[in-house]
Structure 1
């Protein structure tokens, strides 16, 4: 078993389970450890050592409880589109390709403003 497919992502088989789960977009360190704890999976075990039942339990748990990968990305881009359409301050900053969260633009944000100047 070279790689394991969970939530449409091939996660590496040689890593410990929580760190392998972090390869899935939308699952960070805290969620990965919570998933292992709630499914009684040893956090020090490797992905290649999991049984098919454990892999199925992980897949089902993630599908039922979390939005991951494309669903999360679609929702996130939908929020940005709605900000742009109502023309609020954050939406205007997105439209202008400027920093959204109050950062300086005089001496920083060069990568965000790359194509403007």
Structure 2
């Protein structure tokens, strides 16, 4: 197993799909990284050399936000939305869909998260 930036990459997978397992790197960014290194997208992780792994790590850390840094920024943005009291912040706080999705028949799992039951005695 190749360990890159807190993520174990499967040696049997192609480099494009393996890099997309890192939080914050999708298929487009993985393709860009492969292009910068001169690797084809069909190159396997098991064929990477130490030098190539170091180059991948340096490219990712210099150019992209990943993992805990990105999660911290996302959480900070959500807390800001809740604090200013906007519609999206309210929906985050209630655990409901944010972007105008239907809630009458869909989104039943998100509505179950914040359901409270009061029993009359």
What TM-score do you get using the length of structure 1 for normalisation? 0.94
Per-residue CA deviation, residues 38-58 of structure 1 (Å, 9 max, x unaligned), is: 111122221110111001000
Q: Which structure is higher in helix share?
A: 2
Q: In the alignment, which residue of structure 2 is the partner of 1:41?
A: 39
Measured in 2, the distance between the counterparts of 1:43 and 1:109 equals 37
The total of aligned residue pairs comes to: 115
Residue 5 of structure 1: SS of its match in structure 2? strand
For structure 1, the 5+ residue unaligned runs are none
What TM-score do you get using the length of structure 2 for normalisation? 0.91
- Out of 77, 81, 84, the position equivalent to 2:79 is 81
Using CA pairs under 8 Å that are at least 6 residues apart, name the structure with larger relative contact order, 1 or 2: 1
Deviation at 1:107, TM superposition (A): 1.1
For structure 2, the 5+ residue unaligned runs are 117-121
Residue 31 of structure 1: SS of its match in structure 2? helix
Task: Provide the alpha-carbon RMSD of the alignment.
Answer: 1.0
Structure 1: 4+ residue segments shifted above 3 A: none
